Amino acid sequence: MSEPQPTKALRCICYAALVFCLLLIVAYCFQAFHRYAQIVPTDNADLRTTFHLLFYGHLVTKVVLLLLCALFAIFQLGGLRQGDLFPRRNVGIIVAAGIMAFLSSIFEANVGQIYKPVIENSTVIEIKDGAIAILLLLLVFAQVYRIGGNAARENQLTI
């Protein structure tokens, strides 16, 4: 008995996403450290400290986001093997990915603030509206995913 076509396609997409995420992590880390050497401020210790916080915060949150995407694909593949199209573990991963995407965007947007003239006694933290939209979209997707999983499990129990 062969596997249904949509499940087979989803399995292929999950494998492709897993490979893509892992390659992107390697490429992103290589690019970040190469770029770091070119842009780190050297003349002001306070700027260097702030830059390190923002730069490494962005790097860590981006890598964690990509790892969460890879983990989502792994759990999805495991769920498909067990006949579960909506593994429950993925709901938490989607929520965590939304939070990581939001934090990564904040770190990335504010790295550039270091080079702008700072108004005396004021601190500006830039939050892009796209980051908020992605966070909200992923939170909604997590709830839809949860509802789909619950409906699929209820449907299996129905005789």
Rg (CA), the chain: 20
- If one counts the domains in the chain, the total is 1
Per-residue pLDDT band for 114 (boundaries 50, 70, 90) equals low
Tell me 46's DSSP state: H
The pLDDT assigned to 51 comes to 79
* Rounded distance between C-alpha atoms, residue 72 and residue 100, angstroms: 14
Question: How many Cα atoms are found within 13 Å in the side-chain-facing hemisphere of 119?
Answer: 4
Of all residues in the chain, the percent with pLDDT exceeding 70 is 82
Residue 41, token pair as written in the block: 């401020």
Element (H, E) at 35: helix 5-39
Half-sphere exposure of 110 (CA within 13 A, CB side): 24
pTM: 0.80
pLDDT given at position 123: 59
pLDDT value for 35: 73
Mean pLDDT for 78-86 is: 89
Q: Which residue has the higher pLDDT, 50 or 101?
A: 101
Task: Give the domain range for residue 70.
Answer: 5-157
pLDDT score of 121? 47
